[in-house]
Structure 1
Amino acid sequence: MSSPGEVLRSASGSVLPFFSGPAPLPPMPWREPDMSSPSPTDLRRHVEGDTPTPRVTLLFLLGVAFLYLLGGLPLQLLFGEVGIGLMQIGLLLLPALLLVKVLGYDPVKTFSLRPPPRGAPLRGAILLMAGGVILAWFLAWAQSFVIPVPVEVLEALAAFLTTDDPLRFLWLLLLVAAIPAVAEEFLFRGVVLSGLRSRLGTAGAVVGSALVFGIFHLSPQTAFRFLPTFWLGILLAWVVVETRSIWVGVLLHFLNNGTILLISFLPATRDVASQVEQDPPFLLLPVGVALFVTGAILLRSARGGAGEDPGFSS
């Protein structure tokens, strides 16, 4: 992938002939300057590789962050809850799709657009995520000794997710589970993960994409959500790498958010969601570790017979 400076230099070199001395340039006929915008085909000529480079990924993230900060609040003010979905689709998913389309990257390799595996890999991914979510609860608890629990923020979130209306539950399921599962996976486990991998390797790209994922979920009031979200970002990226399918990440992202919503919806479990300062039951810790380790073993053993993905070589 050529750098922006190399692209500009190659463009100037196409009209300025090389010469080995101070001889004047031959006269050239006058031509009207071409003021038209470059076509997608012209842009693709400067693209090397099947996935974004780290530099393109960084510039893209800066652009997405600018769009999100600039357009997020107006969308919510104008459209209310609908604006939350529009933010995810218009400011996260659409830019990721346009980047790949306009610059001509391979969508299969960039987004890991392969059918989800069956059998042991899928079971391993689910077990890994289930155990990881339990461990995330303990991470948040341990973090509370350093960073105060933002009670008001978490109570407001719990109130937003709590409802007795089945239709509103379905609406919230679409808004906070289905749409983010697709939009955020295509951005963070698609463009960012594949874009960082060529420079940082697999482990570095997993951690780097999770770091960006955690920063994205920071709120102005507190940094409390960063560590658990960073950990979940590692799990989701790990699963996408091992299964080579972003759809597994989408499924697990949806199940994670949907389960939290379901806990807030069911009367029998609603108190768990409302008690934001409640310590996790320590009997769950060995369960979480067992699920996590079992899932990791299943994922790794299943991948061993599948061969290395040429698009994801370290």
Structure 2
Amino acid sequence: MKGFVSSRLHPLANLALLLVLLVATFSLSMLLIAVCSNLLFGVGLLEIGNVQQSPQYYPNGWGISMLSQGLLLLGAFGGAAMVMASLTGFKLADYFAPRRPVPFWWLLAAMVLIIASLPFMSGLIDWNAHVHFPAFLHDWEVKARELEEKAQVITRFLTRFTSFSRFLVALLVIAVVPAVSEELFFRGVVQRNLVQWVGRHGGIWLAAAIFSAIHFQFLGFVPRFVLGLVLGYLYEWSGNILVPMAAHFTQNAFQIVLLYIQQRQWSATAFDPDSTQALPWPMMLLSLIFCAALLWVLRRYMQAPQADELPTEMHTLSSGGIAVASPETPTAARTLSHHGVDITRENK
């Protein structure tokens, strides 16, 4: 299908268009949030901002905050990514997952990788939280720490699960929605175009930096940047957005589940999602070694040639990640290389 956006458009032009779409979907999402908030909680557009800033002081603060966060992430980021993919003329599955299906153990391995990385990541979190900026950035550092403290207060409030239904809502909004919407946006579109522009590694690293910076938690920039790198390489190697989605979901869901277990007093071990204390160095070292080995295994097997069984055509990836259409397809086959480059081939 021919799209409104040429597949030969420069990646920077694509990213500029994505930004325009993000502004549009953000505005529509805010309108939808206002309507739903008014219908469900009786809170109008002018009050929503105050509730989001200090939800703990409002009777319906928890519900409004969850509603706002879920709709904003899904509608703005997820919506912009899907509209961008549709404008290119690709089917969504072809755009975000040119290599499919993928072995289920890849998803499980990505989830295990995230859990195993937590001890090592605790060291990065501890270092980043206590790092000090140069003297000329002292005022900025003070403001950043104030924002971090305010964000921690809101996080503790939102992750206080007084019922099982609240736990399920939090799991949906904090784990499922970001895993879907942020991966579609940052890996599926942003990284895809950056890789086309500056190359594989440069694109992945730049996308990870944007992913971390846009969360506006600069005292946690480094660990989130490392997470972005892991998610970026998982997507680049696998060619399927479901793999980084599984890893991203695990990152958030594991903490939510631990919190719920602690709050139900099923475990005597205290867990603070905002803690910046590092675990013992032997655990961090073992975590780093195990994760490095698992990443090596995933890279080796994900980049091996695989047969991709699509509904309408067969594709095979070479060791370099190039999608090649089989001659059995009766019509023109549109495929993607690992750089996301559109390759069209007529079958005689």
TM-score range, shorter chain: 0.7 to 0.9
- 1:85 and 1:175 in contact (8 A); partners too: yes
CA distance in 2 between partners of 1:95 and 1:269 (Å): 43
Counterpart for residue 252 of structure 2: 257
Give the Å deviation of 1:94.
1.5
Taking structure 1 as reference, are residues 297 and 277 closer, same or farther at Cα in structure 2, changes over 3 Å only? closer
**2:253 corresponds to which letter in structure 1?**
G
Describe how 1:116-127 pairs up with structure 2 within 5 A: 116-119=102-105, 121-122=106-107, 124-127=109-112
More strand by share: 2
Counterpart for residue 309 of structure 1: 321
Report Cα offsets for 1:157-186 as digits up to 9, x if no partner: 123112141111011111111111111111
Q: Which has the larger radius of gyration?
A: 1
- 2:125 and 2:223 in contact (8 A); partners too: yes
- 2:128 and 2:220 in contact (8 A); partners too: no
Counterpart for residue 167 of structure 2: 169
For the pair 1:184 / 2:141, whether they are aligned, the reply is no
Counterpart for residue 198 of structure 2: 200
Unaligned runs of 5+ in 2: 38-63, 133-140, 306-318, 323-335, 340-348
- 1:85 and 1:179 in contact (8 A); partners too: yes
Q: How many residues align?
A: 267
Counterpart for residue 113 of structure 2: 128
CA RMSD of aligned residues (A): 2.8
CA distance in 2 between partners of 1:175 and 1:109 (Å): 26
- 1:211 and 1:230 in contact (8 A); partners too: yes
Report Cα offsets for 1:30-67 as digits up to 9, x if no partner: xxxxxxxxxx96x63x6034xx7421332034325534
Give the Å deviation of 1:190.
0.4
Counterpart for residue 85 of structure 1: 70
Q: Secondary structure at the match of 2:173?
A: helix
**2:23 corresponds to which letter in structure 1?**
F
Report Cα offsets for 1:95-133 as digits up to 9, x if no partner: 2111121232464453125223244x4454334333444
Give the Å deviation of 1:69.
6.6
CA distance in 2 between partners of 1:89 and 1:138 (Å): 31
Taking structure 1 as reference, are residues 227 and 77 closer, same or farther at Cα in structure 2, changes over 3 Å only? farther
CA distance in 2 between partners of 1:152 and 1:271 (Å): 22
Taking structure 1 as reference, are residues 197 and 167 closer, same or farther at Cα in structure 2, changes over 3 Å only? same
The TM-score normalised by the length of structure 2 is 0.67
Unaligned runs of 5+ in 1: 1-39
CA distance in 2 between partners of 1:272 and 1:105 (Å): 44
Taking structure 1 as reference, are residues 250 and 53 closer, same or farther at Cα in structure 2, changes over 3 Å only? farther
CA distance in 2 between partners of 1:282 and 1:159 (Å): 31
Describe how 1:37-186 pairs up with structure 2 within 5 A: 44=4, 47-49=6-8, 53-64=10-21, 66-67=23-24, 79=37, 80=64, 81-105=66-90, 107-108=92-93, 110-113=95-98, 114-119=100-105, 121-122=106-107, 124-147=109-132, 150-186=148-184
Taking structure 1 as reference, are residues 200 and 132 closer, same or farther at Cα in structure 2, changes over 3 Å only? farther
Taking structure 1 as reference, are residues 227 and 67 closer, same or farther at Cα in structure 2, changes over 3 Å only? farther
Q: Secondary structure at the match of 2:275?
A: coil
Percent of pairs with identical residues: 21
Taking structure 1 as reference, are residues 145 and 83 closer, same or farther at Cα in structure 2, changes over 3 Å only? closer
Give the Å deviation of 1:241.
1.3
CA distance in 2 between partners of 1:263 and 1:213 (Å): 25
CA distance in 2 between partners of 1:269 and 1:118 (Å): 34
The TM-score normalised by the length of structure 1 is 0.74
Q: Which fold has the larger relative contact order, with Cα–Cα distance below 8 Å and residues 6 or more apart in sequence?
A: 1
Moved more, 205-214 or 127-136: 127-136
